Structure 1
């Protein structure tokens, strides 16, 4: 398994982004993506989230998929602002 740390800009308050993020959980699970945590970045209009998956590429591809794009954009996620760090999950 890998842990994917994502950092994104959001154009809406964290609470609005988070509500849509939680509503989208089943779609992430269907792609083999398990939520670990998410939190707003202090002093910035950004969010960091961590997910666990066997296929880290799915995290990026989901953001750009036609099926998820409208939902993700409605959350305030600024498409194209993503920075991902993929780590091996140890122990």
Structure 2
């Protein structure tokens, strides 16, 4: 595993009433993190909103988060470059929450 790059699986809920990162889609520690965004899934708007929301929720700069897979899917694989040392703990806290 490259400590300079970490992957994160997310499940997107486009068209939500507000943007929120939290909860898991399914059971277990490997279940994707839920990201609800108000943007619709049109012309990549939801994907862009997901990248910004995840960056904000993890406390990293937007350019550190990029899409690896799933441009047209609700299931996406993101890459976080130069993650903070406590990234695992931050993701665990978000995963324990609920997306609304």
Q: TM-score, normalised by structure 1?
A: 0.44
Pick the structure with more helix per residue.
Answer: 1
Question: Of the two structures, which has the highest relative contact order with CA contacts closer than 8 Å and spacing of 6 or more?
Answer: 1
Q: TM-score, normalised by structure 2?
A: 0.42
